Amino acid sequence: MAKRVGFATRMGAIAAAVGSAVGLGNIWRFPYEAGVNGGGAFILVYICCILVMGIPVILSEFVIGRSTHSNMKAALKQLSPGKKYYLFTYVCILGSFVVIGFYSVVCGWIIEYLYQAAMGQLSGHSAQEYNDMFSSLVANPWRCVGWTVLFLVFNFMVMSRGIEKGIERVSSIMMPLLFLILIIFCIKALFLPGVSRGLKFLFYPDFSQLTLRGVLDAFGQAFLSLSIGISCLVTYGSYFKDDISLVKDATMVGVLDTLVAILSGVMIFPAVFSFGVEPTAGPRLIFEVLPGIFQQMTGGYFWALLFFLLVFFASLTSTISLSEIPITFMIEERKMSRPRAIAWTAVFTFALAVVAALSFNVLEDVKIFGKSIFDAMDYAASNIFMLMGGVFTAVYVGWIMDRKVLHDQLTNGGRLKGKSESYFVFCLRYVAPVSIIFIFLYLTGII
């Protein structure tokens, strides 16, 4: 097995995990999911998911990783010798490809908007024109595929040159900056004419708008946003030093990630109601709304450029952590060299991403269970792979893994008090199985 080194500092460890968690899931997907599912009630359910499942699953992944200092497969073999739980790793790898496949298409859109911003073409248009601008981007296979491929080339170049650590260091400056800029945009949004309708939509829980599908979406969104369920955070956990508090770090990742998602909502919804965009616009929502916000700001050109640049870096740290899942597996379990593992990962990723990009134009008529390929991948990634994977992880740590390992990891071998242990054990043991029964009944159409 490759020699493993730990994160030098606790901040470094947290920054890397937050770097993976904060990405398009928060800025692009959270507002549109909230919009499609009626706003306030969805957000309330979302926050409950983070508390009862999200943070406990982050913790479980950290525990599996740090207690073994290995990748998911080796860890499960070590923790449950002679059992077949390690086969779950293959589901994680498949899941990571599905996520990165559709995710990199959206990263491609971000580069297009970054380019448009740099060219000064994002300002001076009406809401309808912003709508048309997005439609013409996705309708054009060359542009859509071109930007996606460019993003992936960039992603794998960073990985093959071994400069992800450099990128992570850059993003430890970029992330706080992104946070700051979101706050500035939120303040700006609070002066838009649609502010009261926007905030009401976001924070007033109208349960008549919430469906069972919305509850499932909230779970899926929470898991995608936190990067849990496909073993990504197991890898991070495996690099953690033995003296950091896993409970504190898991909570910190969960809270910061949720804060970024909510801030994105506060930035978007007042603008949605001010510019007459439909809150249910779906994946195109932020691309229709953001340029309108920049336009209202002094120095809009600069803000637009800075915003898309920061979102680009946030997405890059997420795709790096995603690609690392199959790459680490191939290196450590298949004994491949790093360049070879990267090459194989790149081949599969390119294939899936190109198909996803074409599903808006050339492959528009191809439907999987009534959804376009992109939508089907997006749905399968969060509502099936990550959700099921997260629940498996929780049940495994709560019921199957030796309880002593969990106790040791939560208390650092008895050195910490571990006051919250019973809370986490309760969530992992009871909330997780109940949720999986709910998901199963829903997916099979029984409820």
Least separation in angstroms between residue 75's CB and ligand PFF is 16
Which string of x and - marks every residue 272-311 that binds ligand PFF (by CB under 6 A)?
Answer: ----------------------------------------
Of the pair 311, 358, the CB lying nearest ligand PFF is at 311
Cα–Cα distance list, 356 to 227, 229, 318, 319, 346 (Å): 20, 22, 18, 16, 15
- d(C-alpha 334, C-alpha 251), whole Å: 34
Taking alpha carbons only, the member of 54, 406, 35 closest to residue 251 is: 54
Least separation in angstroms between residue 324's CB and ligand PFF is 8
Regarding 25 and contact with ligand PFF (CB under 6 A), the answer is yes
Tokens of 114: 């970054």
Which string of x and - marks every residue 396-435 that binds ligand PFF (by CB under 6 A)?
Answer: ----------------------------------------
Binding to ligand PFF (CB under 6 A) within 86-125 occurs at: 99
Residue 121: which residues within 8 A CB-CB, separation 6 or more?
none
Regarding 377 and contact with ligand PFF (CB under 6 A), the answer is no
Least separation in angstroms between residue 402's CB and ligand PFF is 26
Of the pair 344, 423, the CB lying nearest ligand PFF is at 344
Fill in the amino acid letter for 21: A
Tokens of 163: 């400069």
- d(C-alpha 134, C-alpha 325), whole Å: 32
Among 60, 155, 171, 227, binds ligand PFF (CB under 6 A): 227
In the block, residue with structure tokens 């450029």 = 305
- d(C-alpha 83, C-alpha 94), whole Å: 21
- Which residues share a beta bridge with 367? 372
Least separation in angstroms between residue 60's CB and ligand PFF is 15
Stretch that binds ligand PFF, among 23-31, 35-43, 187-195, 262-270 (CB under 6 A): 23-31
Give the count of residues interacting with ligand PFF (CB under 6 A): 15
Kindly provide the b/e burial profile for residues 27-63, where b requires at least 16 CB atoms within 10 angstroms of the residue's own CB.
Answer: bbbbbbbbbbbbbbbbbbbbbbbbbbbbbbbbbbbbb
Regarding 318 and contact with ligand PFF (CB under 6 A), the answer is yes
Tokens of 28: 């692009």
Among 14, 26, 46, 388, binds ligand PFF (CB under 6 A): 26
Which string of x and - marks every residue 319-338 that binds ligand PFF (by CB under 6 A)?
Answer: --xx----------------
Least separation in angstroms between residue 327's CB and ligand PFF is 12
8 A C-beta contact, residue 63 and residue 229: no
8 A C-beta contact, residue 97 and residue 326: yes
Regarding 232 and contact with ligand PFF (CB under 6 A), the answer is yes
Q: Spell out the long-range contacts of 403-407 with Cβ–Cβ below 8 A and sequence spacing 24 or more.
A: 405/63, 405/67, 405/79, 406/63
Least separation in angstroms between residue 192's CB and ligand PFF is 26
Regarding 60 and contact with ligand PFF (CB under 6 A), the answer is no
Regarding 24 and contact with ligand PFF (CB under 6 A), the answer is yes
Least separation in angstroms between residue 90's CB and ligand PFF is 15
Return the axis-axis angle of helices 212-226 and 55-68, rounded to nearest 10°: 40
Q: Interface residues with ligand PFF (CB under 6 A)? A: 20-21, 23-26, 99, 224-225, 227, 230, 232, 318, 321-322
